[in-house]
Structure 1
Amino acid sequence: MTRDWREYNEELVKRGEFYLSPDFLDSWDEELERMNGDKVGRPYEYPESFIQFAALWYEFFHLPYRQLEGALRKLGELLPELKVADYTRLYRR
């Protein structure tokens, strides 16, 4: 069995890109409008794609919710358009 190590290594690198991809920021407002369109009661403040991004970090890095909030705050310093949720909101969603 031969293996293309260059290709294999590149696949592993791309896996890491997936965990750190802030693509959800591109459609933040549109997704919130869609989610809140027919909603009764308090509107959502964070799109589902952001919650999924946070959940991925929660599982992958094994972070408790308060530490997850801290990591997302730090990411928010690098990406000013990111609105960071507090740990209780992350837990409830």
Structure 2
Amino acid sequence: PEVGGAGQQKLKQARVLVIGAGGLGAPVLEYLAAAGVGTLGVVDDDTVSLSNLQRQVIHGTDTIGMLKTQSAEAAIARINPNISVETHTFRLTAENAPALV
């Protein structure tokens, strides 16, 4: 009720870029998706491994070996299929950051 319809529309129009879909990025993506942020960008160049699962909550055993960006995209779609996800499967650097942002 504190957000209201107008606030939810602002969230739907918002764009957030999350650097990393690991220990911190995974729950951030989960909460942003649940909140209804309209476009989520995910930057990560790693794959899901078994050792990630206890702390990277959006990945599961069925995503081991998958790119974290793809696994995150699938998890976001399960939470809120109305969100647009932009995946960037590379490491953020000083050279590519300006064009990405």
Normalising by structure 1, report the TM-score. Answer: 0.30
Q: Using CA pairs below 8 Å that are at least 6 residues apart, which structure has the higher relative contact order?
A: 2
Please identify which structure carries the higher helix content.
1
Normalising by structure 2, report the TM-score. Answer: 0.29
